[in-house]
């Protein structure tokens, strides 16, 4: 497990978007994050350039969600 820390406006914006989405499986793409090791574990921190995307139409997200569906059917 990797902990992702969002700060300030990014945290508020993400919370609002997350509450608006009513999906069983959520796939989010994060960009421009800062990786750090904290107490021996990887932690990802947002930066001023961090952006996140919930766009279900991105081809990689479609592929990933299909793999999750396939696993559930096994």
* pLDDT per position as a tens digit, 16-35: 877 775 655 567 888 899 99
Given a cut of 90, whether residue 45 has pLDDT beyond it is yes
**Residue-level pLDDT at 24:** 55
Enter the pTM of the model.
0.59
**Residue-level pLDDT at 74:** 55
What is the phi/psi pair of residue 22, to 5°? -120, 60
Given a cut of 80, whether residue 3 has pLDDT beyond it is yes
The order of strands in the sheet holding 41-53 is 3-5, 41-53, 29-38
Q: Which residue has the higher pLDDT, 64 or 44?
A: 44
């Amino acid at each position: 497990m990797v902990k992702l820390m969002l700060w300030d406006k990014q945290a508020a914006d993400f919370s609002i978007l997350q509450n608006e989405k009513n999906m069983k499986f959520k796939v989010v793409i994060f960009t421009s994050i800062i990786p750090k090791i904290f107490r021996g574990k990887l932690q990802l921190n947002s930066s001023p350039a961090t952006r996140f995307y919930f766009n279900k139409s991105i081809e990689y997200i479609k592929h990933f969600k299909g793999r999750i569906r396939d696993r559930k059917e096994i």
